[in-house]
Amino acid sequence: MIKKCLFPAAGYGTRFLPATKAMPKEMLPVMAKPLIQYGVEEAVEAGMDIMAIITGRGKRAIEDHFDISYELEHQIKGSSKEYMLKEIRDLINRCTFTYTRQIEMRGLGDAIYKGKVLIGDEPFAVLLADDLCTHDGGDGVLSQMVKVYEKYRCSIVAVQEVPMEHVGKYGVIAGKEIDDGLYMVDTMVEKPEPDEAPSNLAIIGRYILTPDIFGLIEKTEPGKGGEIQITDALMAQAKEGMVMAYKFKGKRFDCGSIDGFVEATNYFYEKGKKES
């Protein structure tokens, strides 16, 4: 029922400079696969087949990745390396990729708003590819969230418990736990100081949003850091109606940071060794 997944990928990725000077952060590989491909695979597993990507200057490698490279295909055809392109070829055949650019980096809320033209008037998923999520043997995080959406039909944010000293890096929620790991949100604060945080439940880069969010973003003034914060628009949505927070099952690596990226690489390397 949710067919479209939005990938805000316009950020500068300053924590990975100089690697991200001319290369999109979303193309950094964990093992031999770029972060954004993991994200697209998670969306496909959740039943989505339209990938709406918000890009910016210097991000063209993302478009090229989700396209055929005829010279390369020709070069490796019939060789022992042909299988290495199979996964990406399957994604290209299965999905439609649409793009628009965010001209000025005015924050995640603004990046999502730029996706309005690609999404239209239907519920959609949002996936931040630098949050790499895995749930070995179980449903991916977006699949889990789609199931919650089917029951409650409202916007849903994925949350994870983080140490109190780290809450300042995230949007943080509080609310009533109505089911195991499922909260009806009544408070949401962007990057709070630990002593002001309503809980240690941090929003990570997975959302299901209902399309009325676009009207709410329009009304959202710049917040923390002078950016249009999706958290502020979601707080307005929670006040008007209902927003859920879902404590997902699985692991999440913050691949926007060096530590998280190295951790993810080690994890997938060990996993690959066990499987082979």
Q: Are 57 and 123 in contact (CB under 8 A)?
A: no
Please, are residues 98 and 55 in contact by the beta-carbon 8 Å criterion? no
| Residue 264 CB contacts under 8 Å (≥ 6 apart), including other chains | 30, 132, 253, 255
Which residue lies nearer to ligand UTP by CB, 12 or 152? 12
How near is the Cβ of 152 to ligand UTP at its closest, in Å? 25
E-state strands within 64-123: 96-101
Q: Considering beta carbons, is residue 8 or 140 the nearer one to ligand UTP?
A: 8
Closest CA to 116 of 243, 184, 20, 211: 211
Instruction: Name which of 11 and 123 has its Cβ closer to ligand UTP.
Output: 11
For ligand UTP, the closer of residues 50 and 105 by Cβ is 105
Closer residue to ligand UTP in complex, CB, 101/147? 101
Helix, strand or coil, per DSSP, at residue 201: strand
Q: Which residue is nearest to ligand UTP (CB)?
A: 11
Least distance (Å) between residue 14 CB and ligand UTP: 3
| C-alpha closest to that of 159 among 181, 130, 187 | 181
Closest approach, Cβ 125 to ligand UTP, in A, equals 14
Residues lying near ligand UTP in the complex (CB under 6 A) are found at: 8-15, 25, 54, 102, 105-108, 110-111, 128, 130, 256
Q: Is residue 145 within 8 Å of 158, Cβ to Cβ? A: yes
